[in-house]
Amino acid sequence: MLSVEDVSVDRSGLPIVRGVSLRVDEGSVTALLGANGAGKTTLLEGVSGALPVSSGAITLAGERVERLRAWRRARAGLAHVEQNRTVFREMSTLDNLRAACRRGDTPDRVFELFPELRKQVAAPAGLLSGGEQQMLVVGRALLGRPKVLLIDEMSLGLAPIVVARLAAAVRALADDGVGVLLVEQFATLALGLADRAYVMARGRIVFSGDGGGLRGDEDLLRSLYLGDTPSETGV
Ligand SMILES: Nc1ncnc2c1ncn2[C@@H]1O[C@H](COP(=O)(O)OP(=O)(O)OP(=O)(O)O)[C@@H](O)[C@H]1O
């Protein structure tokens, strides 16, 4: 569904992401892990078009998109939930959702996924809890009917019970056919959800494999987080 091939992304003229290739299949969750500063956010921004890619190819459902503006990639089916969640704080929950609806569409599918938002339809979004605001952000992204959803650190600052709730919703989305690329600080959470996992260090992919394999190998995970490749550490 999404294929990233040999993609490099610069920030302020510095090479941050270098030669990254990865794949997100339809109806699956792919975790992207790595230490702070590894380049995960920069990669997601390159994929969604928030930052230009300096080289490489990005293909979404068979269409090359790396030269398209961000809004055209969104229209082609790519949604990006950025790291610092934002809702229109003064607007009601319902109006936040309505503003994200395509013409003729309704927010119903968001309420199916997050019934807790139904009770808050009239409340100004700025008064929702952190978890509810994150649900609203994810819900808004869904209303564009994305083929692929990029989610950056959805659990940041949220209570574990809320994070578990969001994780279940992400899994449900994937089971419904969406390809999800999940950047997550909690490796165990991400690996518990993921069909496939990649680990980045210093701007490159240093590991790829199925989520279960990595979950069961804490030593490997630790060495990858420290930025060593398995061949360097002999793992
Ligand atoms: N505006 C910027 N200009 C220059 N360098 C930046 C800028 N923003 C981030 N960086 C650098 O880019 C590198 C990658 O940052 P990025 O945020 O992509 O990493 P990350 O893996 O998402 O980490 P985190 O989990 O901390 O968000 C870091 O070394 C960071 O210092």
pLDDT digits (tens, 9 = 90+) for 28-61: 999 999 988 999 999 999 999 999 999 999 999 9
Residue 118 resides in a domain? no
- Nearest alpha carbon, ligand 1 atom 28: 37
Q: Flag whether pLDDT at 92 surpasses 60.
A: yes
CA distance 5 to 45: 15
In the numeric block, the tokens 């928030």 are attached to 50
Give distance in angstroms: CA of 102 to centre of ligand 1: 33
Q: Flag whether pLDDT at 85 surpasses 90.
A: no
Q: Flag whether pLDDT at 8 surpasses 90.
A: yes
How far is C-alpha 7 from the chain's CA centre?
A: 17
- Nearest alpha carbon, ligand 1 atom 16: 39
CA geometry: angle at 181 spanning 176 and 186, to 5°? 110
Q: Flag whether pLDDT at 89 surpasses 80.
A: yes
pLDDT at res. 194: 93
- For 158, the domain range is 2-83+146-233
Residue 119 resides in a domain? no
Tell me the percentage of the chain whose pLDDT exceeds 90.
Answer: 71
What residues does ligand 1 touch, defined as CB less than 6 Å away?
11-12, 14, 16, 34, 36-42
**Residue at 232: amino acid letter:** E
Residue 222 resides in a domain? yes
pTM (predicted TM-score): 0.90
CA distance 9 to 180: 21
Q: Give the closest residue to 189 by CA, choosing from 163, 150, 214.
A: 163
Tell me the percentage of the chain whose pLDDT exceeds 70.
Answer: 95
Give strand pairing partners of 4.
22, 58
Q: For residue 45, which atom of ligand 1 is closest to its CA?
A: 18
Residue 54 resides in a domain? yes
pLDDT at res. 228: 52
Q: Which of the four pLDDT bands, split at 50, 70 and 90, describes residue 225?
A: confident
Residue 11 resides in a domain? yes
Largest CA distance in the chain: 57
Are 140 and 109 within 8 A, CB to CB?
A: no
Predicted complex: ipTM over 0.85: yes
Residue 33 resides in a domain? yes
Q: Flag whether pLDDT at 205 surpasses 80.
A: yes
Give distance in angstroms: CA of 107 to centre of ligand 1: 34
Give distance in angstroms: CA of 164 to centre of ligand 1: 27
Q: Give the closest residue to 93 by CA, choosing from 69, 64, 114.
A: 114
**Residue at 145: amino acid letter:** R
Tell me the CATH number at 65.
3.40.50.300
Structural domain total, the chain: 1
Residue 69 resides in a domain? yes
> Mean per-residue pLDDT for 3-23?
96
Q: Flag whether pLDDT at 27 surpasses 90.
A: yes
Give strand pairing partners of 15.
10
pLDDT at res. 44: 97
What separation in angstroms does the CA of 196 have from each of 2, 33, 66, 104, 212? 13, 11, 23, 35, 8
Torsion of CA 150, 24, 21, 57, to 10 degrees: -80
Residue 197 resides in a domain? yes
Give distance in angstroms: CA of 39 to centre of ligand 1: 6
Q: Flag whether pLDDT at 232 surpasses 50.
A: no
